[in-house]
């Protein structure tokens, strides 16, 4: 490689001069990314055994065994890249979470960020690759994509400080902003392409706060704002996702104005809905719209002084060249796939090579996004109930999703209750396509401790119930008058049996005692 070619690669992929003036935004983004990783692993500590443990709803060991029987040779490890191939016991699952939490805190502390970010990525990928239905969320792909690109953005060294001797890779910086852009723009595209009349008529936000997966108490108040407010926010959502995000590519003052707008927008979304760590990640990616000068104006003098004191240090030419070559290959690969995925949204028949897309798919590092393409028209809740006589039924209390009418909807994101979240999706379809519901019924008949840990309590703590069923309710926010009269946040109506009523026989098998009647159409 001649000198001029090497210089161009250095300029793009991050050896000095790298991206000057972006040390502070990188520092802020990586600290935020560490906190988001921590929230993801922290929430799994309390759920992972019930979700994918050996006695959980969808055991990781059974999934990997199925992969091993279906995919030959070493290809299975590419299809399901996970450390859980070594062991998938409860101890292994908990170790995965605790190692991930420890590594994420080291990222926050800025200790060996490249290594600790790699540990976070591998641990989270290990869960996502084996969690089946419990990891089919766009937010998981967003975090893995951002986490992978952050490996090329992070400074080298054990205690790198600002990393002035290792400026941010221009390619990694751009691809992270490209991810930020695509999350918004692709979400806007799918709204248009879906043909959903609620977006076309700007009524998508009228019931949004009520019908989303896990509402908040702030959302209750937002739902009671005037109709013109909901029309305006629907219009602004489309404007932000389809138009305003292009401010990213414009001169510095416009780009900084974009940061202010999207940060305020994300703050509003965070308090009115619980979307796990999704909005926090999008907000953190927005930090990369800033530069050192902008951060200096917004931070205390001590912070500015430390940034001003940072200065480049000499580095190994050979190490820099190797990193440049690796970054060039990996980031070009990711850049192609993410661009192809964007183009395939409006142009489905575009003849683009698909081999790179297929190759990266198991790693979730180059994704296609699109949030709220079609708005749900009602709020439905699955409730598990147990009985000893088949007449009097007692509900199993949930930790997070709406159930008790008087209980105020809480704000707990970025904590992610995956079981409650999946039940919201299941409520919109048929039980035959949502195996987690009948499986959970069977686990409750056994008083399975790990699965019961996903609930707020066990009304049959001494002895398992004789019968378990899953029923479907429709929920609505109460009106302001209703809330003043009785203090309830919700009202509801029973729609009927959602999944078969099940009992456990003396020999340990499960028998259906009542089949559900067809439910009214709902979506």
In percent, the amount of the chain with pLDDT more than 90 equals 84
Q: How confident is the model at residue 315 (pLDDT cuts 50, 70, 90)?
A: low
**Integer CA distances (angstroms), 183 to 33, 179, 283, 465, in order:** 17, 6, 11, 45
202-211, 302-311, 434-443: the lowest-pLDDT one: 302-311
pLDDT score of 15 more than 50: no
**Mean pLDDT taken over the chain:** 92
Could you tell me the pTM of the whole model?
Answer: 0.93
In percent, the amount of the chain with pLDDT more than 70 equals 91
**Rounded Cα distance, 207 and 52, in Å:** 33
Residue 208 in tokens: 């949004």
Residue 376 in tokens: 């749900």
Mean pLDDT of 18-30: 87
What are the structural domain ranges in the chain? 3-363, 379-514
Q: How confident is the model at residue 327 (pLDDT cuts 50, 70, 90)?
A: confident
Q: How confident is the model at residue 153 (pLDDT cuts 50, 70, 90)?
A: very high
Report which of residues 3 and 242 the model is more confident about: 242
pLDDT at 72: 87
pLDDT score of 9 more than 50: no
Mean pLDDT of 331-357: 91
Mean pLDDT of 154-166: 93
Residue 27 in tokens: 């520092």
**Rounded Cα distance, 466 and 388, in Å:** 5
Q: Going by C-beta distance under 8 Å and a sequence separation of 6 or more, which residues neighbour residue 515?
A: 497, 500, 501
Give, to the nearest 10 degrees, the angle between helix 418-427 and helix 436-445. 120
pLDDT at 310: 59
Residue 89 in tokens: 């016991």
Mean pLDDT of 22-34: 96
pLDDT score of 427 more than 90: yes
How does pLDDT run across 55-79, given as a tens digit for each residue?
999 999 999 999 999 998 899 999 9
Mean pLDDT of 482-493: 97
Mean pLDDT of 332-355: 91
Q: How confident is the model at residue 301 (pLDDT cuts 50, 70, 90)?
A: low
**Rounded Cα distance, 210 and 222, in Å:** 9
Assign 520 to helix, strand or coil: coil
How does pLDDT run across 194-243, given as a tens digit for each residue?
999 999 999 999 999 999 999 999 999 999 999 999 999 999 999 999 99
**Rounded Cα distance, 189 and 294, in Å:** 31
DSSP assignment of 220-269: HHHHTS-HHHHHHHHHHHHHHHHTGGGGGGS-HHHHHHHHHHHHHHHHHH
**Rounded Cα distance, 79 and 64, in Å:** 10
Burial of residue 316 (CB within 10 Å: 0-12, 13-18, 19+) is exposed
Q: How confident is the model at residue 389 (pLDDT cuts 50, 70, 90)?
A: very high
Q: Going by C-beta distance under 8 Å and a sequence separation of 6 or more, which residues neighbour residue 178?
A: 335, 338
pLDDT at 479: 97
pLDDT score of 312 more than 90: no
**Rounded Cα distance, 130 and 126, in Å:** 7
pLDDT at 66: 96
pLDDT at 304: 59
pLDDT score of 323 more than 70: no
Residue 232 in tokens: 């305006």
How does pLDDT run across 270-293, given as a tens digit for each residue?
999 999 999 999 999 999 999 999
pLDDT at 211: 96
Q: How confident is the model at residue 136 (pLDDT cuts 50, 70, 90)?
A: confident
**Rounded Cα distance, 140 and 362, in Å:** 12
**Rounded Cα distance, 126 and 135, in Å:** 11
pLDDT score of 515 more than 70: yes
Mean pLDDT of 362-375: 95
């Amino acid at each position: 490689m001649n000198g001029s070619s090497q210089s161009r690669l250095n300029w793009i992929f991050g050896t000095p001069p790298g991206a000057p003036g972006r040390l502070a935004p990188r520092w802020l983004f990586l600290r935020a990314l560490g906190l988001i990783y921590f929230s993801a692993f922290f929430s799994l500590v309390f759920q992972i055994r019930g979700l994918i443990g050996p006695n959980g709803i969808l055991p990781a060991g059974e999934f990997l065994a199925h992969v091993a029987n279906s995919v030959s040779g070493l290809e299975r490890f590419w299809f399901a890249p996970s450390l859980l191939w070594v062991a998938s016991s409860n101890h292994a699952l908990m170790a995965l979470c605790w190692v991930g939490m420890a590594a994420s805190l080291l990222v926050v502390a800025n200790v060996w960020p490249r290594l600790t970010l790699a540990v976070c990525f591998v641990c989270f990928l290990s869960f996502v690759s084996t969690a089946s239905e419990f990891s089919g969320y766009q937010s998981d792909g967003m975090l893995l994509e951002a986490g992978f690109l952050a490996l090329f953005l992070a400074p080298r060294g054990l205690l790198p400080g600002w990393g002035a001797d290792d400026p941010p890779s221009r390619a990694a910086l751009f691809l992270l902003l490209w991810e930020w852009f695509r999350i918004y723009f692709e979400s806007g595209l799918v709204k248009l392409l879906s043909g959903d009349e609620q977006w076309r008529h700007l009524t998508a936000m009228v019931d949004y706060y009520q019908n989303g997966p896990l509402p908040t108490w702030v959302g209750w108040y937002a739902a009671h704002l005037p109709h013109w407010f909901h029309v305006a926010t629907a219009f602004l959502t489309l404007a932000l996702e389809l138009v305003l995000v292009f401010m990213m590519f414009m001169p510095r003052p416009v780009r900084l104005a974009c940061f202010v707008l999207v940060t305020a927008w994300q703050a509003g979304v965070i308090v009115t809905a619980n979307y796990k760590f999704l909005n926090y990640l999008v907000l953190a990616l927005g930090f990369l719209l800033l530069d050192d000068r902008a951060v200096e104006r917004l931070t205390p003098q001590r912070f500015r002084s430390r940034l001003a004191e940072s200065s480049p240090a000499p580095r190994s030419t050979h190490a820099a060249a190797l990193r440049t070559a690796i970054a060039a290959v990996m980031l070009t690969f990711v850049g192609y796939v993410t661009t192809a995925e964007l183009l395939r949204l409006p142009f489905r028949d575009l003849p683009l090579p698909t081999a790179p897309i297929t190759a990266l798919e198991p790693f979730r590092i180059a994704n296609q996004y699109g949030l709220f393409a079609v708005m749900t028209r009602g709020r439905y809740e699955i409730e598990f109930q147990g009985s000893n006589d088949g007449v009097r039924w007692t509900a199993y209390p949930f930790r997070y999703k709406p159930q008790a009418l008087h209980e105020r909807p809480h704000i707990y994101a970025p904590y992610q209750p995956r079981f409650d979240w999946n039940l919201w999706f299941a409520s919109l379809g048929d039980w035959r396509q949502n195996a987690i519901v009948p499986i959970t019924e069977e686990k409750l008949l056994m008083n399975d401790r790990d699965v019961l840990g996903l609930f707020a309590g066990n009304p049959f703590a001494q002895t398992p119930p004789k019968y378990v069923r899953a029923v479907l309710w429709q929920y609505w926010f109460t009106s302001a008058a209703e809330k003043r009269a009785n203090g309830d946040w919700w009202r509801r109506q029973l729609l009927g049996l959602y999944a078969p009523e099940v009992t456990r026989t003396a020999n340990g098998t499960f028998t259906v005692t009542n089949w559900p009647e067809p439910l009214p159409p709902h979506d």
